[in-house]
Structure 1
Amino acid sequence: MKPLLFLTALVGLAACDAGVETRKAAVPPGEQPAPTAAVAPLAASGPAATLTPETDAALQDAAAVVRLDQLSGQGPLAAKLFGTAGGDPAMNGLYTHIAFFQDPAEGWRVFRIGDVLDYRVLSQRPGRVDLELEESTMDEATGRIGSRTRRVIIGWPIAADGSAPAEVTVTPAQ
């Protein structure tokens, strides 16, 4: 039951429009975002339903998803990047993964790309996505936290039958 509930939660998250936050943040530097139109508060039209907290532990994993980017142009293969919150947010904390849908019984095949502050999709095409990764670094000699930006190419073979890849590669790039 737990895997089915977890899969249901992930499919629900996958249906979300992950580009909304990107579009909101796409305000040119120095300009203020357009104000949101005021909407009158809703008026109740029936009795309230009281909810109790969910007790399925698998939902904790689903609730940790804080970023989701669907990958397009992959033919019959359903692929996405996602990040879960975890670790020390002062030192990265966005556990970044790429996932490929296998089938309803097996769910997603997931590969961990790394622990970063943030990622940006630079480009994508069948069997490949180019990413820019923002990461925290630690100078072991001084104990100071710094940062770096690096780029990587995530690649995988495209199967004729649209099945999920058995492996992916991460290649440093410029």
Structure 2
Amino acid sequence: MKPVTFLVAVLGLAACDSQVETRKVEVPAAEQARSLPAAAPLSAAGPAATVQPDTDANQQWAASVVELTPLTRQGDRTVKLFGTAGGDPAMNGLYTHVAFFDSPAEGWRVFRIGDFLDYRVLSETPGRVDLEVNESSMDGATGTIGSRKRRVIIGWAVATDGSVPATISVTPAQ
């Protein structure tokens, strides 16, 4: 009985992989065909260069970005939504942010929107993006994990001087 219990425990722990990056995203064949035109494989035209792993600690954080959505209707301002892997993938795990590029000296101003399974942009206008988010939910009485979809409006003031917003708002929506 003990080997069976051990095997069940090991398999259970393996299923609780905290690395959301291991989730596979299936891309429909039609989309794959659009994204890469048919081409013959390349042939080497010189010696290969050996590249070592990047040891900059910030690269670990950058590699945890698993979703990126540029917002293209924000005028001259560079704005994006992005999600990083983290937390328990059984209960959400996509830490979702909106980021505004300020300047090379200041970098990005980043606001965390929430912790979801995923998000989808429904619409976008200057100073606003409407999202549908899919998130885990837990029944407090039974401990059963389920999921739900909800909608939110992410809003911010568009400054006449082009500066990045000091705050944003996250409003429940229908």
- Note the alpha carbon deviations across 1:61-84, whole angstroms, 9 max, x for none: 111111111112212221110111
Query: 2:103 maps to which residue?
Result: 103
Instruction: Give, in whole Å, the separation in 2 of the partners of 1:26 and 1:83.
Output: 24
- What is the CA-CA distance between 1:88 and the residue it aligns to? 1.4
- Which one-letter code corresponds to 2:122 in the other structure? L
- Which one-letter code corresponds to 1:52 in the other structure? Q
Kindly indicate whether the alpha-carbon contact (under 8 Å) linking 1:134 and 1:150 is maintained by their aligned counterparts in 2.
yes
Query: 1:88 maps to which residue?
Result: 88
Query: 2:138 maps to which residue?
Result: 138
Query: 1:12 maps to which residue?
Result: none
- Note the alpha carbon deviations across 1:125-156, whole angstroms, 9 max, x for none: 01100000000111222221100000000000
Q: Write out aligned runs for 1:59-74 (5 A).
A: 59-74=59-74
May I ask how many residue pairs the two structures share in their alignment?
149
* Seq. identity, %: 68
- What is the CA-CA distance between 1:45 and the residue it aligns to? 2.1
Kindly indicate whether the alpha-carbon contact (under 8 Å) linking 1:75 and 1:162 is maintained by their aligned counterparts in 2.
no
Q: Answer with 1 or 2: which has the greater Rg.
A: 2
Query: 1:128 maps to which residue?
Result: 128
Q: Which moved more, 1:150-159 or 1:75-84?
A: 75-84
- The change in CA–CA distance for 1:33 and 1:166 in structure 2 (over 3 A counts) is closer
TM-score by length of 1: 0.77
1:147 is paired with a residue of what secondary structure? strand
Instruction: Give, in whole Å, the separation in 1 of the partners of 2:42 and 2:99.
Output: 39
1:81 is paired with a residue of what secondary structure? strand
2:149 is paired with a residue of what secondary structure? strand
- Which one-letter code corresponds to 2:141 in the other structure? A
Instruction: Give, in whole Å, the separation in 2 of the partners of 1:151 and 1:26.
Output: 29
Please state if 1:169 is matched with 2:159: no
- Which one-letter code corresponds to 2:45 in the other structure? S
- The change in CA–CA distance for 1:67 and 1:42 in structure 2 (over 3 A counts) is same
TM-score by length of 2: 0.77
| Unpaired runs of at least 5, structure 1 | 1-20
Query: 1:49 maps to which residue?
Result: 49
| Unpaired runs of at least 5, structure 2 | 1-24
- The change in CA–CA distance for 1:141 and 1:77 in structure 2 (over 3 A counts) is same
- The change in CA–CA distance for 1:147 and 1:41 in structure 2 (over 3 A counts) is same
- The change in CA–CA distance for 1:37 and 1:76 in structure 2 (over 3 A counts) is closer
Q: Write out aligned runs for 1:9-20 (5 A).
A: none
2:75 is paired with a residue of what secondary structure? coil
